[in-house]
Structure 1
Amino acid sequence: MTPDHTLAGAHAPARKRSRLLKGLQGLAALSALAAACVGHAQTTTPRTAFVHLLEWKWTDVAKECESHLGPKGFAAVQVSPPNEHNWIATGDGAPFPWWMRYQPVSYSLDRSRSGNRAEFVDMVNRCNAVGVGIYVDAVINHMSGGDGGSSSAGNGWSHHGYPRVPYGTNDFHQPVCGINSADYNNDAWRVRNCELSGLQDLNTGTSYVRGKIADYLVDLVNIGVKGFRVDAAKHMDPADLGAIVDAVNGRVANKPYWYLEVIQADGEAVQPSQYYGLGGGAVNVLEFKYGTKISEKFSGKLADLKTFGESWGLSPSGKGVAFIDNHDKQRGHGGGGSYMTYHWGAPYDLANVFMLAWPYGYPQVMSSYAFVNSGTQFDSSYGPPYNSDGSTKGPWDGGVSAPACFNQNRGGWVCEHRFRPIANMVGFRNATAANWTVDNWWDNGNNQIAFGRGDKGFVVINKEGATLSRSFATGLPAGQYCDVIGGDLVNGACTGNVITVVSGGAANIAVAANSAAAIHVGAKVGSTDPGTGTGTTPAAGTASVTFKVTASTVMGQNLYVVGDVTALGVWTPANAVAMSVVPGTNAGQQNQWTATFPLPSATGIQYKYIKRDGSGNTTWESGSNRTATTAASGGSQTLTDTWK
């Protein structure tokens, strides 16, 4: 692959307030999280984070569980609604908008945009086999919108007429009414009994409707589904939803995990706390304030995060599902303020690093397909990559050995869950779950912070334009640890920097601008005798390589090096290695930038330099890829270049 192209991003715009179709998100931790929250001993390393694979096909989810999610330690994957849904090839939002998945036509699994029932069952079995649960986005508040049409399975339906359930007029709230903006502050009854954006609102107050919904969910649990995100739960009466939860829990051997979409705004008539008691108190809620607060501080001052948590108005940690963004919030749907997205570039990665390191709630990682923040209805509705017939063009199509990810152009898969800083921090969270506290906090009063998780892990986040280098009290046992932000632990050796912790817990750690470092007991690559020197050293089988490049930049730009090996990010800008300016080299607008880190020894590499700004806009060097052969094991070398 020769990435002679430019990937561009932009800051997330101010979000418009819209009540358009709600979507997928997070779920919440099962017993592993609960045990971690109260400090119970773990017999095995718990899995404590999950991912939302937005609009992935069932066959692709199965492959991703086996190749990435299981090995990286993800607890579960949230999948798109699996039931038969409205099919929109023309008209409003067409063709094939993402939100047609949120317009049910029946509860049949025979055919959705993600695949058929046999493929769904196979996915559940294969993911369960590698320790990754399946969480289903359950759309049970309403059916479709409009007066009729054709479904994903080719079946017809009409207004208040769904013969494949079956539902008729009396199964919907009558008389029909629509939710007005003022209702959210003044009238909980209308929020829960009137139509949301014209979607036909089910009368869940009847035992018949509740029974049909329960039958659907019980079928999924019997297949092996581990949990449910309840879409638009805010628009369901807590008593009705509680009756459905109890009915399902009472009919299955293993109760599923439940988490609810209840978008919170201060002063509104419907609040998440009104749902806390459902399922005997076991139901959780999506914490929408989490992402807005993180966005505020990553646009402001990270040092303020020292007290982040319930005192900031968040739900109790044991109730909340944390997320930086979701498919709705990426597009400005649902109100609730500004959220970060992959368009932000490095700051988005750092926000996810913080979320996965900080002891609050059950974190959900977002995994997207590319979209444009233009504010138009087309881009707001734009569905996943698709073929001419509307079928999804999946990242694993064509029998490839690795998914087609990291494409931020429309029609591509972004796969944030595969960005190394995000993917490897899942292991950090798993390793630190038993220490549900923060200690050894440090900050510079601005945008450089560091903190520990007892004797299990330590993280440093540098959202400033210069390298951070100092000694930290980590609290970890003496030894050598792989910095999982920049490298992977492979067969006991680290492909990136190795950080040495001496007796007493101190370590010298250097973190490039707009980057991070993280070490934990699950990524220990060796041990050191008490009193040995601190610092960053190359692992066995590696050579220390210094990259130097002279380049001109504009205000806000930084230099990175990216290449064809894991330690160089495998041509992925989000995983590129940040460089720092060599003091005293400024000649006009020309500076020399440098970065030193270990690479596999005696190995041919290809690489390029890129420029990125705070918005994630990326500029690649022109011309062919640079090439070099690294020094022998334990050796060092310097590659000196000029931007081209």
Structure 2
Amino acid sequence: MNARFGSRLWQRYVWATGGFSIVCSLMVLGFKPLASKMLSRSAGSELAQSSVIVHLFEWTWDDIAQECEAFLGPQGYHAVQISPPQEHIVAAEQGFPWWQRYQPVSYQLVSRSGDRAQLRNMVQRCRTAGVEIYADAVINHMAALDNTIGSAGTKFSRYDYPGLYQSEDFNPCRRPITNYQDAEQVTQCELVSLPDLNTASPHVQSQLADYLVDLVSLGIAGFRIDAAKHIRSDDLAVILQQTRDRTELDPFIYQEVIDPGTEAIKKQSYYALGDVVEFEYGRLVGEAFLNVGNLTLADLQTFEQNAELVPSHQAVVFIDNHDKQRGHGGGGTYLTYHDGQLHTLSMVFMLAYPYGKPRIMSSYAFETSEQGPPTMADGRTRRVYEPDGLGCGDAWICEHRQPAVTAMVAFRAATQAVPEVTDWWSNGRNQIAFGRGERGFIVINREETALVHTFQTQLPAGDYCDIIQSASQSTLCDRVITVNAEGQFRVLVEPMSAIALHQDSQP
């Protein structure tokens, strides 16, 4: 669920305010220092594009444009998920919380991230940098706060949004959802008291399609459909078809369907409409890294077979998202940046393992679950890029900039041609390794003791840079692993660290 109403608190964690940078101290047995040689990811070169999405949560349009040019494009990120771009409430009395973006007032493109011109400029600059933009589309409901003014100056009241919707455009069930075993209630009643649009109405369908078509006209390449499980799949199909019929671009669709397997609404009902965000993935991986119950990393060898997950080709996956960071949306344990090395190593696994389309969460620090992004006194979002132009720091966590994560984005791109795991190895607990055919190999040591082992791979014989160790060394490759003619290498991996090799990392 992605919207919160009033002053309800959903706090789960008290968060640290600093970012985290993994330090993988690795000794390669017989390693060769190559300080004078450069990684194939040389300065200014372009990477092969990965399938990786980064969620720049609550960033301004101007900052996203700069990040695409300065970092995301050169590092090979595929797309950015942006916060909802439509006019929203301004909840000053609640301290401008994060959830005000999920309470639409109109479909004017004026939000605390910027206006229509800034949005268009950002989309164009990102596409020039090789990065697509996906918009978070809030189309299930409208704003719940009453008799207030939106971010574009629109005056509205509950069930009356001038020039857009009136009372008859909302479902008659005007009470909160209380029973998730009742599909009618889940799709026709109100998610945390948010006015629920009658998405079976031709007028509502037309208005929603108009909004999505307008975003596509600006170059938006896809949509995360917020609260999709609260929209009947048949209704959503009509809205998306109307959008596709009116645009040359076929937008990429991925839908928020939280399905723990015990509720009335099933993710399978939405497969025909596009991709689906697989929430169980983050829980399974997080609980393995946290060793919840009897789970260990060794159990990840079969998690795809043992869980009823969205088919890989239709899944968008994550370790954490803006809801799970705050303990929303059901049970399970999820890792976040607050978990330091475990969080980073879990992202290393996600980017190495060939399941779904990975989405990296880029957060801001917060102390309560309601807290919005860093803001000025008037509620405007503070820039990520300060006058020095460096970007990130202070309250902006920027997990997507961690050296280990950016190195693994390159690994993802280099190994995409091999869609399966090969040469799986584990110690039966929390030391694992696996290959991606002849394209790459990864070793993760989540234990408190060093790992020394000779690994069998399908890599061609030769020298390879360990991209994780070398990621913090700019473009220099000072750790080289030699694979012999039998495809083997012997290595020592320090506790709570990882190594990764791929064919494009040969010095």
TM-score normalised by length of structure 2: 0.88
- What are the superposed Cα offsets for residues 247-302 of structure 1, whole Å, 9 maximum, x if unpaired? 11111111000010010122211010111122xxxx01100100111121112211
Counterpart residue number, 1:269: 264
Whether 1:524 and 2:506 are equivalent positions in the alignment is yes
My pick for the range that moved more, 478-487 or 243-252, is 478-487
Whether 1:298 and 2:289 are equivalent positions in the alignment is yes
Structure 1 outlier segments of 4+, above 6 Å:
none
Whether 1:56 and 2:55 are equivalent positions in the alignment is no
Counterpart residue number, 2:177: 179
Asked if the contact 2:4–2:99 (Cα under 8 Å) also holds between the matched residues in 1, the reply is no
For 1:213-224, what aligned pairs fall within 5 Å after superposition?
Answer: 213-224=208-219
Counterpart residue number, 1:626: none
Whether 1:387 and 2:376 are equivalent positions in the alignment is yes
Counterpart residue number, 1:132: 131
Counterpart residue number, 2:196: 201
Larger radius of gyration: 1
Q: Among 444, 458, 469, which residue is 2:441 paired with? A: 458
Matched residue SS, 1:143? coil
Asked if the contact 1:52–1:78 (Cα under 8 Å) also holds between the matched residues in 2, the reply is yes
Asked if the contact 2:48–2:76 (Cα under 8 Å) also holds between the matched residues in 1, the reply is no
Specify whether residues 345 and 79 from structure 1 end up closer, same or farther in structure 2 by C-alpha distance, changes over 3 A only: same
Q: Percent identity?
A: 48
Structure 2 CA distance, aligned partners of 1:490 and 1:228? Answer: 36
For 1:148-159, what aligned pairs fall within 5 Å after superposition?
Answer: 148-159=147-158
Whether 1:123 and 2:122 are equivalent positions in the alignment is yes
Structure 1 CA distance, aligned partners of 2:117 and 2:3? Answer: 34
Counterpart residue number, 1:24: none
For 1:164-563, what aligned pairs fall within 5 Å after superposition?
Answer: 165-180=163-178, 183-185=179-181, 187-278=182-273, 283-300=274-291, 301-372=296-367, 379-398=368-387, 400-405=388-393, 407=394, 412-488=395-471, 494-525=476-507
Structure 1 CA distance, aligned partners of 2:389 and 2:147? Answer: 42
How far apart are residue 19 of structure 1 and its match? 8.2
Matched residue SS, 1:428? helix
Whether 1:113 and 2:112 are equivalent positions in the alignment is yes
Q: Which runs of 5+ in 1 are unaligned?
A: 1-16, 22-43, 373-378, 526-644
Asked if the contact 1:46–1:433 (Cα under 8 Å) also holds between the matched residues in 2, the reply is no
Give the partner amino acid of 1:506: Q
Matched residue SS, 2:118? helix
Counterpart residue number, 1:79: 82
Q: Which has the higher helix share?
A: 2
Matched residue SS, 1:122? helix
Counterpart residue number, 1:70: 73
Give the partner amino acid of 2:501: I
Asked if the contact 1:310–1:317 (Cα under 8 Å) also holds between the matched residues in 2, the reply is no
TM-score normalised by length of structure 1: 0.70
Asked if the contact 2:173–2:190 (Cα under 8 Å) also holds between the matched residues in 1, the reply is no
How far apart are residue 502 of structure 1 and its match? 2.1
Give the partner amino acid of 1:276: Y
How far apart are residue 175 of structure 1 and its match? 4.6
Considering only aligned residues, what root-mean-square deviation do their CA atoms show, in Å?
1.7
How far apart are residue 489 of structure 1 and its match? 9.6
Structure 1 CA distance, aligned partners of 2:174 and 2:472? Answer: 58
Q: Which runs of 5+ in 2 are unaligned?
A: 6-46
Give the partner amino acid of 1:118: A
Matched residue SS, 1:487? helix
Structure 2 CA distance, aligned partners of 1:103 and 1:86? Answer: 6
Asked if the contact 2:169–2:198 (Cα under 8 Å) also holds between the matched residues in 1, the reply is yes
How far apart are residue 512 of structure 1 and its match? 1.3
How far apart are residue 496 of structure 1 and its match? 4.1
Give the partner amino acid of 2:283: T
Matched residue SS, 1:499? strand
Matched residue SS, 1:201? coil
How far apart are residue 18 of structure 1 and its match? 10
Specify whether residues 177 and 273 from structure 1 end up closer, same or farther in structure 2 by C-alpha distance, changes over 3 A only: same
For 1:593-632, what aligned pairs fall within 5 Å after superposition?
Answer: none
How far apart are residue 506 of structure 1 and its match? 1.3
